[in-house]
Structure 1
């Protein structure tokens, strides 16, 4: 919602200010299709050339994600902490029964309570793999923390591929605008014998290329890349919560304390309150 509002506001202010100052929109509208073909086509072509198939495949969904916002909300972090509480409590009371849940999460009655988490393969995989490792006596807190840190860093790097690619495109757009402008000047020089009013219009059309390259770079693509990067970083905090709870558990802290460590590691805007989480855990204990 705010992304669309930002784009609309940018377009209205730029072109509205131009029109109100006496600028002729006809010059821009006449040159726009051709300049967009040159600049936009070159930008897309270079984007395809410089990125892998995986990045290209994820670009569309990533752009949608930039407008929709983070995947994980406050309720999801509360659900995650409740899920971790149930799994850790089971791991300490009945490790054999825990194996059924981590080997087949899709059929686990515990995981089924939290369908949004269950539907996220990477989150479930991290939880199950870490619990499986600890059940096999790979339970050194510092080693597990290091392994989890490297795995999460790898996910973070993959998540940031599209934002970085978009930022590279934004960096290239002003230069592509100059290319379009130079082509416009070449065209104008080929018509140097035309009347001044014709030459003026042709020069104006050429300058539209420079304007368009800079405008697309700093008015649309770069902010979009920044927004997508922020969304990716925000969602990555979900995995940091998992790591915090797991490491605290390996230090043999009480299960409630492990969950509280995870709660405090969540970003403030999605962090459930202590009272809310405590009530949720109390309900789980009553239902057990």
Structure 2
């Protein structure tokens, strides 16, 4: 919502003030389609040249995140803590062997099945199951498990940030591509140097539209989009940090309730459930679970 308001305000402040100040839009409107095709087209081409298909797909899907925000909402954090509570409580009561059927087939698990949104996140499920699998292989040193989880998180976070970095690189290139479009316009103008001043003025104005659009797109749209996408990815990474916090706390010998409380402290403040809200969520889990 705020992104849409920001875009509207951006155009009002830039073009509205220009018009109020006596600027003529006819030159801008006439030149904009050609300049945009040159600048934005070249920017997309550079994006395709410099990145892998996976990163390019991430940029495309990331555009939705820019407007919708992080995929994890407050209820999802409570669900994650509830799932981890069930897993750690089962380990405490019955041992890690009791979890083998759940971690080998999480999509058929009665524990994981209670939280369908989490199950749809392949990394979250694999991250939980791989860590529990290490525990079943008697890797119970909390520090070794924490190091292994940290490496997985770093790799995933690096890959998740790649689309935001690619978008920022595109934003950095747009002002220079605007100059390229402007230089081409000047070359065209110099080829018509015998034309009257009024015609030459219009041609020079069209060329300068290229420089304007390059800077405008870079700092007004694409750059802020990259910043927003980076912030969304950073917030989403907190979801996986909670998994690490809870499972490592469990390995340190804490009770399931204490472990999830430690994990609750890692939830972003805007979506963090209170102690009472988490307590209610845990008490709402059916006894047969």
Tell me which residue corresponds to 1:57. Answer: 57
1:120 aligns with 2:143: no
**Cα displacement string for residues 70-129 of structure 1 (whole angstroms, at most 9, x for unaligned residues):** 011111011000100001111122233311111111111111111110111110111111
Give the drift of 1:57.
Answer: 2.1
Superposition map of 1:21-170 within 5 A: 21-95=21-95, 96-170=97-171
Per-residue Cα deviation, 1:146-182 (whole angstroms, up to 9, x for no partner) = 1111100111001100100010010010000011111
Please give the alpha-carbon distance, in whole angstroms, between the structure 2 residues aligned to 1:156 and 1:8.
Answer: 32
Where 2:284 maps in the other structure, the secondary structure is helix
Q: Secondary structure, in 3 states, of the residue corresponding to 2:277?
A: helix
Within-5 A mapping of 1:137-286:
137-284=138-285, 286=287
TM score, norm. by length of structure 2 = 0.97
Shift of 1:259: 0.5
Counterpart residue number, 1:4: 4
Detail structure 1 runs of 4+ shifted over 4 Å in the superposition: 285-288
Secondary structure at the counterpart of residue 138 of structure 1: coil
* CA contact 2:51–2:166 (8 Å) conserved in 1: yes
Alpha-carbon separation, structure 2, partners of 1:249 and 1:126: 16
Q: Could you list the runs of 5+ residues in structure 2 that have no partner in the other structure?
A: none
C-alpha displacement of 1:58: 2.0
TM-score w.r.t. the length of structure 1 is 0.97
Q: Is the 8 A contact 2:170 2:222 kept in 1?
A: yes
Q: CA deviation at 1:285?
A: 6.8
Which consecutive unaligned segments of at least 5 residues does structure 1 have? none
1:189-224 superposed Cα distances (whole Å, 9 cap, x missing partner): 111111111111111101000000000000000000
Equivalent-residue separation in structure 2 for 1:67 and 1:112 (angstroms):
29
Q: Aligned to 1:160, what secondary structure does the other structure show?
A: helix
Q: Aligned partners of 2:260 and 2:98: how far apart in 1?
A: 21
Provide the C-alpha distance between the structure 2 equivalents of 1:152 and 1:21, rounded to a whole number of angstroms: 52
Aligned residues: 288
RMSD across aligned positions (CA): 1.1
DSSP-derived class of the 2:273 partner: coil
